[in-house]
Amino acid sequence: MVATVVAVVAVAGTAMAEGGWTGEEFPGRPDMASYVSTVSSGGGATWAFGTYSPPGSPVSTTAQGFRREDDGRWVEVPMPNIGQVASSAVTGPDDVWVVSQFSKFSRGATLHWDGRAWTEVPLVVPDAPRISPRDVAAVGPDVWAIGSAYRDGEDPLSRSFAARWVDGGWQGVALPPETDDQVFTSIGGAAADDLWMAGTTVGRPQQLVSMHWDGARWSHVPVPPLDTAESDYLTVHDVAAFRPDDVWLSATQTPYDTPEAGRPVLMHWDGAEWARQELPAPVGELGELVQAGGALWNLSPDALLRYDGTGWQQVDGPPEGALGNGAELPDGRLVGTGSGGDSYEPQPFAVVQSR
């Protein structure tokens, strides 16, 4: 494990509120580029995870984890270096999951915190020695991990996988054959028998794809086709399910030649079909979906959006910068994280929506 000096930074001060947001003390890393890539909350516990690296060396990443204390301070909890952290899930103080896309051996990993220590848990996909988990979710009594698995060499292979935590180990769950030509990056659910996965096709022009778990099997659910060019690429940011007739999918369509001109794609499932939703303009890239404070939020570098049950509005974010990740705290408020300061050595910050 790499040791690095950690400085506690009070971004806005826990006693100060500005523009409806209250800053919280969050550890920084002097002389490093430090980021948070996922925030999760559940069972009274809230955690954030990300990576840090020497400035200018984004491929040399080290995983980092932070726990939010009851007084709003964030403290670092040392963790194994599993590389690029992709996602996390929290059900309580002694049940925390983290997955990474890559490690120094070009293989993703899954970690579990039992309240005292971290344990790396093997996740094996048959005939594919290299895995890249993209998301992990805890829904009801179940924990799921999804991603892609690979085999190199003369007979290369790439396939999607889904695994469920059963009796102390990851158990693979069969996916339809056509998923080998699809990449799934997000999973969410309203109940153990009502889960959704979202991703994109591999072939071009790319299209959005979704699958539903009914408690027994995964099956494809058509998503309305998008007007995508051969060179466009689609990024699925999140799929969030709250009821059988209330599921959201956020994505961005980006032209290859003008990556700064990303166009938002927001879909809603009403229990019968997916339909594209209207958004205030201009919005730009979408991001993570978080339900908190009696509303649904979309957090992204380009815009902070809030859905009140009737429509989406663009709202002012914190003065520290754009929010990239967030979660609902035990008291119902939204906690969000982002990175600010020097673009060469950005540092993470955390803010809470003031009531």
pLDDT band at 10 (very low <50, low <70, confident <90, very high): very low
Q: Using CA of residue 27, residue 32, residue 33, residue 39, what is the dihedral sign?
A: negative
- By residue count, the chain amounts to 355
Q: Could you tell me how many helices (H) and strands (E) the chain has, helices first?
A: 0, 30
Separation CA 143–CA 85 (nearest Å):
17
Give the confidence band of 260 by pLDDT, cuts at 50, 70, 90: confident
Of 327, 254, 317, give the one whose Cα is nearest residue 289: 327
Q: How far apart are CA 280 and CA 305, in angstroms?
A: 9
Question: pLDDT (tens digit, 9 = 90+) per residue, 275-293?
Answer: 999 999 888 999 999 999 9
pLDDT-derived band at 186 (thresholds 50, 70, 90) equals very high
pTM for the model stands at 0.92
Residues with Cβ within 8 Å of residue 279, at least 6 apart in sequence? 264, 266, 305, 312
> For position 59, what pLDDT does the model report?
64
Mean pLDDT score of the chain: 92
| 11 φ, ψ (degrees, to nearest 5) | -60, -50
Render pLDDT for 55-97 as a digit per residue (tens, 0 to 9).
Answer: 777 667 899 999 999 999 999 999 999 989 999 999 999 999 9
Q: Which residues pair with 236 in a beta bridge?
A: 251
* Type of residue numbered 353: Q
Domain boundaries, the chain: 32-223+286-353
- Rounded (10°) CA dihedral 209, 287, 52, 136: -50
Q: Is 320 helix (H, G, I), strand (E, B) or coil?
A: coil
| The CATH number, out of the four listed (2.50.20.10, 2.40.70.10, 2.120.10.10, 1.20.1740.10), of the domain defined by the range 32-223+286-353 | 2.120.10.10
Quick one: tokens of 152? 């190199």
* HSE (side-chain half, CA atoms, 13 Å) at 139: 24
Could you report the per-residue pLDDT of 105-125, keeping only the tens digit for each? Answer: 567 899 999 999 999 999 999
How many CB atoms are closer than 10 A to CB 180? 14
